[in-house]
Structure 1
Amino acid sequence: MAEAFRAALAAAARETQDVLRERLAAHDLPVAQAMEHAVTGGKGLRGFLVLEGARLHDVAREAARLPAAGIEALHAYSLVHDDLPAMDDDDLRRGQPTVHVAWDEATAILAGDALQSLAFELCADPLVGSHRADLCLALARAGGIAGMVGGQARDIMAETSETPLDLARITELQQGKTGALIRWSAEAGAVMAGADAGPLGRYAQALGLAFQIADDILDVEGDAAKMGKAARKDAAAGKATFVSLLGLDAAKARAAELVEAACDALSPYGAAAGTLRETARFVIARES
């Protein structure tokens, strides 16, 4: 089952990357090349969640692949900007040079801006269906001040705060920074179908937190070569993380509890949600 899941995840990642390459192929500009560089590689987890949620609600694959590619574009934009010298100043992402290293800072900023716009272009495509405005509104909220950007802003503020983050505040921060896009991804299929997104929202809330705890664990235990980025940066920076607050063993136990909660939330879908359950288990077993 694990091998079949990984194969399905890889196939979905290739599918969403193909959509993005098709959209960029007509533009013979360095910024377009930088955009393609930014969306290449990676697990494609968010796009995979869109495709699986759509499958559960009988949304056509041809329609679902557009927002699946869109969320990968938006996620890539966030990474391009996060890697800039003004933010995390990282040289390596997904095992390759970051965009500002491979090109320059100006190109990286423009590539990120254009990837964000492309995300909304894909989600607003008429092929997505009659609920595409709802999808775009939800994406704006998930990616903006109430979601990812707000979480990132809190993370930056925490670096210079005299009071270290406690568990409640770091949970709130990560529900925005990491969790908001994961939740949008999981709920997108239900939104496209005009169905109740509640069960998938509850699944995603637990999944997103488990994902971040797993990231914190990888920062301590992970192999930089497998991760494709620097390890042990949080400890070096003295940042409060789930591992620093809970301890390594308790953090692992909490992540496992969240995976079970995510799987339980899928009970309305029965056996049809088996792949999403595998996704939850993959989140805490991954090496990158």
Structure 2
Amino acid sequence: MSHTDFQTWSFAIQQQMEIAMGGVLPSAQHLPERLHEAMRYAVLGGGKRVRPLLVFATGELVDAPAERLQYAASAVEMIHAYSLVHDDLPCMDDDVLRRGKPTVHIEFDEATALLAGDALQTAAFEVISARPLCDEPADQLAMIRILATASGAAGMAGGQAIDLASVGKPLSLPELEHMHILKTGALIRASVLLGSYCGRPLLTAERDKLDRFAKLVGLAFQVVDDILDVEADTATLGKTAGKDAANEKPTYVSLLGLKEAKQRAAELEAEALDCLSGFGERAARLRELAHFIVHRAF
């Protein structure tokens, strides 16, 4: 099969995921309609789908069937969407714009937004457990555990708690990186690991290299997010620009400065690519994604 360019490939996956997630989300025509409408509003029609792209890119490395990958990717993206809904609430980051449109609590109301996030989280586990996504049942249990760990106190939720507790406080680089390994990196690592289980078996050492790659890419993703929060405008980002500085949140830019933050992103990309050196052309999409994450301008 010929290797299509990254833009064509990523657009095709994004379109496929829109259809797949539209199919697994509850219909807005069914009771409770308003809750279902809010869930669909939170997930569909926006976003770069970086996490699903990572699932599919890793799936190419292990020759995984696309149908398996789309369900694993849907579960990850639903967890991501729920986290954004809750992060935007007044009790957290109190934001009014996400993906270029009003946040869920603005479009609907706070109670509906809270319930939509709750429902998306549980729906993700329904999706990942409802059908065979790998050859061995024990591996599918491992996938469910990976997603649960990445979502909870040892992952994304724990990182958000540290973030909220760190407002106005200086953090060292190790402290900042630990926070983002949990808050942003855990779900990115889960995306790669879930994709790795959907196809042919990997050696433990191979999966460890993929996990290391994902950890580094997750950190790079956050470094670039912090840079864009300074350099890009609200219209480009699709969310409120400059909010981290306004809220006195610790960022890579506030800690390192803009020039050194960009250098840190480049270092993380190089380390991540080094983890893929033994996989050859099978890891081409993962390399392209690492480049996209570090060099994206929006």
Q: TM tier, shorter chain? A: over 0.9
- Using the TM superposition, give the Cα deviation of residue 25 of structure 1 relative to its aligned residue in structure 2, in angstroms: 4.9
Q: What is the distance in 1 between the residues matched to 2:163 and 2:296? A: 24
CA RMSD of aligned residues (A): 1.4
Q: Does 1:188 align with 2:194?
A: yes
Partner of 2:40: 36
Greater CA deviation, 11-20 or 47-56?
11-20
Of Structure 1 and Structure 2, which has the larger fraction of its residues in helix? 1
Deviates more, 1:190-199 or 1:256-265: 190-199
- SS for the counterpart of 2:89 is coil
Runs of 4+ in 1 over 3 A off after TM superposition: none
Q: Is the 8 A contact 1:220 1:231 kept in 2?
A: yes
Structure 2 partner of 1:199: 209
CA 1:25–1:140: 2 relative to 1, 3 Å: closer
Instruction: Give the equivalent residue in structure 2 for 1:20.
Output: 21
- Give the aligned partner of residue 7 of structure 2: 6
One of 164, 167, 170 as aligned partner of 2:173: 167
CA displacement at 1:246 relative to structure 2: 0.8
Deviations along 1:166-186, one digit per CA (max 9) or x if unpaired, are 111011000000000000101
Q: Please tell me the residue identity of whatever aligns with 1:10.
A: F
- Note closer, same or farther for the CA distance 1:25–1:249 as it changes in structure 2 (3 Å cut): same
- Structure 2 partner of 1:255: 265
Match of 2:151 among 143, 151, 170: 143
Report the AA paired with residue 132 of structure 1. Answer: Q
Percent identity (aligned): 46
TM-score by length of 1: 0.95
CA deviations 1:4-28 (Å, max 9, x no partner) are 3123222212222211211235452
Amino acid at match of 2:272: A
Cα displacement (A) at 1:245 = 1.0
CA distance in 2, matches of 1:27, 1:101: 18
In terms of mean alpha carbon deviation, does 247-256 or 123-132 score higher? Answer: 123-132
Tell me if the contact between 2:160 and 2:183 (Cα under 8 Å) persists in the aligned partners.
Answer: yes
Amino acid at match of 1:172: H
TM-score under structure 2 length normalisation: 0.92
CA offset digits 1:144-178 (Å, max 9, x no partner) = 00000000000011116xx4111110110000000
1:175-225: CA deviations, max 9, x gaps? 000000000101112233442311210110110011000000001101211
Q: Which residue of 2 aligns with 1:155?
A: 163
- How many correspondences in the alignment? 284
Q: Distance in 1 between matches of 2:251 and 2:127?
A: 34
* Equivalent of 1:224 in 210, 221, 234: 234
Within the candidate set 261, 273, 284, 1:274 is matched to 284
C-alpha displacement of 1:286:
1.4
Give the distance between the partners of 1:257 and 1:83, measured in 2 at CA. Answer: 31
Runs of 5+ consecutive residues of structure 2 not aligned to the other structure:
none
Distance 2:234 2:61 in 1: 36
